Structure 1
Amino acid sequence: MPELPIVTLSVTIGNMNTSFEDERVRAPELADWLLSRGLVAVTTAQAAQLLGVPPDQVRRRLHAPARRGEWVMPAHGLWMAVHPEYRTWGAPPGIEIVDTVMRHLHTDYYVGWLSAAEIHGAAHQAPQVFQVATSRHIRAKQVGRTRFTFMTRESVGAVPVIERPTRSGHARVSTREATILDVAADIDIAGGVTNAATVIAELADDDGIDVGTLADLAHNYPAAAGRRAGWVLDRFGPELELEPLRDVVQSKATAPSLLDAAGPTTSELDRDWRLRVNRDVEVDV
């Protein structure tokens, strides 16, 4: 992953090359000074340089501005300047800061599950947490009003994403097809079978997905993910040609999957999707 250009000794802003080597800024003015230059974050070492103090004095110098909501420290050694409209929140929304934090931590990531569904306009209810897939373990954290939860996933970088524009750049968000399969694979993370089914159906609405892309991606997911997704789309989604996805799930030489992994293991078998339908589902779309 490329390094995040937060603040370095020489930072390019648009077509201007701005040097900070000789800059000195008073602590009460530093947040607005950065924001006025299109910058959102500094490391502790960079803040120390701008303030003209040793690094171990940065926390004390920024304590009062932070209490006024001008700064938030979402990760060790990273200071983010808060835009005025978010200062009563304690921090910008999660989508605005996740990329900066992950780059600071040198961690590959994408916004996924219900948080991605909401960004795609498909969350029936606003998720209570901001769900992020990461390439290594990171503890959950509260940043302002946002409760971040991080789920370690293999091959995070291989999951297709869109780049959602933010004020400071962009955030990596799983595509609709990847979000469908993540939600189908992790029913518990998605709030249960009914909520997961509702989200999947909404993601596919209005020609929102490409079934061929979904089928290709299903090769990289557990069999249960493709089977649940196909079953939901077949019953509750828009009229789609699901044969490519059906071929993929039929080709997986595993025992039938459960619609609800926590439900009964004996129930009606849907042979088309090799899925035991062990829960009643009422989709609200």
Structure 2
Amino acid sequence: MSERFNQRLRALRSGGCLTFTLAEAQNLFGMTSSAFADASQMAIRRQALFKPRQGLYVIPSHRDGPLRAPPMQDIIDDIMTHDRAPYYVGLLSAAKAHGARVPAGTPFQVVSSKILRSFRLSAQHVEFFHRKNMPPLDMLQRRRGDVAQLRLSSALLTAVDLLRYRRHMASHDLVRTMLGEMAGCMDVAEVPLLLGFTPVSVLQRLGYFLDLAGAKQLADTIAERIDGASRPTGLGPVGHTSKAKPALERRWQLFSQ
């Protein structure tokens, strides 16, 4: 039974199937629910099958070498659909997709309006961040991984999140560098969309770092949009960047904390 089950897993994977649900299992394997439960548990113990969620299964690669789960970018959409959770791939994972260099070993970072626990799948670490108010769909992109599609934050939304969730990020110098590397991908037309769901204090910090990165048009547009609404605010708990310019601090009403 176990060998037939494993053969079927390999056939499914070869045919492009990376995930399946418990509801689909009977049709896929032609087994009773109890027989599938026994076979799947044995496969999970042998890491010939992964179960990241109750009722959701992931088929690893059966090529030569250790069994590994598919890349997270190819299965995250299935996982979040199974969880019925609005989401987008964001923060450092999105920054990397937009051309920024990120620290090695960074978890796969996902933002959702649903509170979810981080988890590991094979050698991959998935880290969730909660956002109560999701951004407009116009700021989310549909990107294709090696096999499947995923929902990715735009470069400008990624920059906002790097500052919004700054306690989870690295130094301000690293954030400034990444914003500079992504600036060419940012769409100035998205700036008005930020106003409906982004605190002004975050926009002040964003404008400041874009100024430092030399993204003048983006910084000027943000300054025009928040003119009269900004208040003196702190740069953030990490501390002041060593490349601070006093004139820009006055423009954005920022002080070091």
**Interval containing the TM-score (normalised by the shorter chain):** 0.7 to 0.9
1:172 pairs with one of 148, 151, 156: 151
Paired position in structure 2 for 1:120: 98
Change in Cα spacing, 1:230 to 1:86, as seen in structure 2 (3 Å) is farther
Aligned 8 A contact 1:48 1:57 in 2: no
State the 1:97 CA deviation: 1.4
SS in 1 for 2:173: helix
CA distance in 2 between counterparts of 1:85 and 1:221 reads 46
CA distance in 1 between counterparts of 2:130 and 2:180 reads 26
Alignment of 1:19-30 (within 5 A): 26-30=4-8
Aligned 8 A contact 2:144 2:150 in 1: yes
Aligned 8 A contact 1:202 1:237 in 2: no
Paired position in structure 1 for 2:36: 58
**Higher fraction of helix:** 2
TM-score normalised by the chain length of structure 2: 0.84
**How large is the Cα RMSD of the aligned pairs?**
2.7
Aligned 8 A contact 2:140 2:153 in 1: yes
Change in Cα spacing, 1:260 to 1:121, as seen in structure 2 (3 Å) is same
Paired position in structure 1 for 2:197: 220
CA distance in 1 between counterparts of 2:119 and 2:10 reads 26
1:193 aligns with 2:172: yes
1:149 aligns with 2:111: no
Paired position in structure 1 for 2:243: none
CA distance in 2 between counterparts of 1:89 and 1:83 reads 6
Q: Which moved more, 1:37-46 or 1:72-81?
A: 37-46
Aligned 8 A contact 1:134 1:150 in 2: yes
Aligned 8 A contact 2:113 2:132 in 1: yes
Aligned 8 A contact 1:26 1:51 in 2: no
- Structure 2, unaligned runs of 5 or more: 241-245
CA distance in 1 between counterparts of 2:116 and 2:83 reads 10
Aligned 8 A contact 2:172 2:239 in 1: no
1:208 aligns with 2:185: yes
Alignment of 1:80-99 (within 5 A): 80-85=58-63, 88=66, 90-99=68-77
CA distance in 2 between counterparts of 1:211 and 1:275 reads 23
Alignment of 1:242-281 (within 5 A): 242-252=219-229, 255-261=231-237, 263=239, 270-278=249-257
State the AA in 1 paired with 2:235.
L
State the 1:183 CA deviation: 0.8
Q: Which moved more, 1:136-145 or 1:82-91?
A: 82-91
Aligned 8 A contact 1:124 1:198 in 2: no
CA distance in 1 between counterparts of 2:63 and 2:255 reads 50
Aligned 8 A contact 2:88 2:140 in 1: yes
CA distance in 1 between counterparts of 2:93 and 2:23 reads 33
State the 1:216 CA deviation: 3.6
Change in Cα spacing, 1:146 to 1:133, as seen in structure 2 (3 Å) is same
**Higher fraction of strand:** 1
Q: Which moved more, 1:59-68 or 1:148-157?
A: 59-68
State the 1:91 CA deviation: 0.9
State the 1:33 CA deviation: 1.9
- Structure 1, unaligned runs of 5 or more: 1-24, 279-285
TM-score normalised by the chain length of structure 1: 0.77
- Count matched residues: 249
Deviations 1:12-68 (A, max 9, x none): xxxxxxxxxxxxx93021222222333222112322343333324424213444455
